[in-house]
Structure 1
Amino acid sequence: MPKTARTRRAAAASKAAARARHLPPRPAAPLPGVRIEPAQPGDADAYFPLLLTAISRRSEADLPAPPEMLAAPPERLTHGQALCLVARDTTTGQVVGALAAGAATWIDENPLTDPATMRGFLLAGLMKYRIAGIHAVAVAPTHHHRGVGRALITAAEQYLRQAGFRLATLLHDPVLTGFYARLGYLSTPLLISFTPGGLFGEDHVGYLTAVKPLEPGVELVTVPQAPAPIASGVFPGCTVPAGSWFEDGHLVTP
C-alpha cells in the first residue's frame, strides 16, 4: 500500500527524533577564564549552595556529600569515593560551577539490591563499581551559556572512566533532553541494565535518566518487546546476544 504524505512525514519525524537521541558528543572547547578542578575545603560555602540549586526540586537529602567531604583525601575519586569538581573563574578565583558524582545512589533503592540478602549485597557492590551517577551539576547565573556545564560533565566522565566506571547516568527534567543528547546521552524514562543478577530496571517518576557508555563494548541495545533500551556490556558476561527478545520481564536469548 503506498504511503500517504502524512505517513511519510510521521516516518521522517520518527527518524529525526531517533537521530536527536543519538547525537555524537561535541568536543569540549577550552573555556577562557574558567578552570575545572577538584573542589577544595575552602570552596564549601560556594560549592554546596550551587549544588542545592540543581537538586531543589527533589530533596536536600539527595545532597551527595556533607561539607567535610571536601577535606577527604583522594581514593577512588577526588574526595574518597566521591567526585567533587568546581569550575573556577581564573581572574577572581570564585567558584562559578559545581558538580558532584560517584556511584549511582539509586542502586540502593531497588529490592534486588536489598543488603539483607547476600545476593542483594553482592549485586549492589558490583553495580556501584560499574555504574556512576552524576548527582548534580550547577552553574552560577553569571556564567550561563558559556559551556561551563558541558566542561564539568566532560571532565567528570574522564574521572569516572579512569576510576573504572563503565556507564554514566544522570537524572534530569525532560526539558533538558536536548542538552544531554548533545553530550552523547540517551534519555529514557526507564533504565534497564543487564546484570549478573538478571535485568535491573529503575525509573524515577517525573524525571528522565540520561545514560552514556564510558567504555568500548558498553552499549544501549534495543531489544524487541523491551520497554526501554538495555545497557549491555557493563558487567563481565552480560552482553545482550543478537536475536534476543524481551518476554514477561526477562531477557530471552536465542
Structure 2
Amino acid sequence: MSSTRHQPAPTHPDGPGPSGRHVDTVSITQLQPADHAAFLALLDLADEEGVPEEVEDLLTLPPLGQPFTHGPALCLTAHTPRTASPVGAVFATLSDWAFQQPMNPILAYLITTTILYTNALAVAPDHRHKGIARTLLTEVETRARDTGYRLATLHHAPELTDFYASLGYTSARQVLAVFPSGVRAMPPSSYLTAVKPLDPDVRVHTVPGAPAPVVTGLLPDCDLPAHMS
C-alpha cells in the first residue's frame, strides 16, 4: 500500500514563542536509524489513530531521489543541544491524488511531481511554542522548492488556520486546481486543506462565485478558465 493513501493526519504544530524567536537553537536533520522509534512516537502525536504500518516500512527504503530521504518520503527531525532524542518530526510524501482522478496517467504523473504533501508534523509537548514546527515545515518547503516542486499542501484542524496563514498557507474546506483536463477538487478531508505556492508562477485565487480557492500554474498554460476570470 502506498504511504500516501491512508487518511491524512492533521498536522500538530507548536506555533512561535511569545517573542516570535526560537528559545533553543534547533538543528534539522535527515532521520537517522537510531531515531526511528522516537520519530514514530512523535508522529503518533499528530494522528489519534496511530502511525500506519506502511510508514515503518518506508523507513527501511533508500530514497527515491531528491528531496526524499526514505523511499518516496521526506523524514526530518529537530534536535536541540540539550536533547539526545528528536523533539520534533515531519513526514512528507508525494501526493498520489492525481492517480485517483479520471485523467491520463502521464498527466497524473506530471501533477504528482509538482505537489508535496506534508502528512504529519509534530513537536514534543515540552518543546512547543519555540518555533520548532515552523522551522521543520520551512525546511520541507525549501527542499521541495529546490527540487522543482511547485505547491506545498497539508491538512490541519480549523483552530490552526492562523498559524498556517502566518506561514503563507491558504486554508479552506475544499481547494480547486486548474489542470489541462479541467478544474478539479483536491483531496477531501475532515480537516481543512492548506496550500502554499513554492513557485512564482503558481497562484491561489479567490474567485467570486467559486466554491473554493483556485490554484493555477501547476503546469504550463493552466490558468484561470474564462468563466472564472
Q: Give the TM-score range, shorter chain.
A: 0.7 to 0.9
If the length of structure 2 is used for normalisation, what is the TM-score? 0.82
Point out the structure with the larger helix share: 1
Q: Distance in 2 between matches of 1:65 and 1:188?
A: 27
C-alpha spacing 1:107/1:53, structure 2 compared with 1 (3 Å): farther
Alignment check: 8 A CA contact 1:38 1:78 kept: no
Q: For 1:170-209, what aligned pairs fall within 5 Å after superposition?
A: 170-209=154-193
1:245 is matched with 227
Shift of residue 206, structure 1, vs aligned partner = 2.4
Identity in percent = 38
Picking from 98, 102, 105, the partner of 1:112 is: 102
Mapped to 2, the partners of 1:178 and 1:107 lie a distance apart of: 28
Between the aligned partners of 1:35 and 1:195, the Cα distance in structure 2 is 38
| Structure 2 residue identity aligned to 1:54 | A
The 2-side partners of 1:192 and 1:64 are apart by: 29
Bigger Rg over Cα: 1
Q: Distance in 2 between matches of 1:71 and 1:96?
A: 23
SS of residue in 1 equivalent to 2:138: helix
Structure 2 unaligned residues grouped into runs of 5+ = 1-19
Q: Following superposition of structure 1 onto structure 2, how do residues 1-254 of structure 1 map, counting pairs within 5 Å?
A: 32-56=24-48, 60-61=51-52, 65-67=55-57, 69=59, 72-73=62-63, 75-79=65-69, 80-108=71-99, 110-112=100-102, 119=104, 121-240=105-224, 244-246=226-228
Aligned CA distance change for structure 1 residues 60 and 95 (closer, same or farther; 3 Å): closer
Which deviations, in whole Å up to 9, do the C-alpha atoms of 1:160-184 show, x marking residues without a partner? 1112110110111111111101111
Residue 68 and residue 220 in structure 1: after superposition, are their counterparts in 2 closer, same or farther (change >3 A)? closer
Is 1:190–1:209's contact at 8 Å kept on the other side of the alignment?
yes
Q: Distance in 2 between matches of 1:122 and 1:174?
A: 35
5+ residue gaps, structure 1: 1-27, 114-118, 247-252
CA shift in 2, pair 1:30/1:53, >3 Å: closer
Tell me if the contact between 1:102 and 1:135 (Cα under 8 Å) persists in the aligned partners: yes
- In the alignment, the residues of structure 2 paired with residue 60 and residue 48 of structure 1 have an alpha-carbon distance, to the nearest angstrom, of 7
Q: Give 1:157 shift.
A: 0.4
Aligned residues: 209
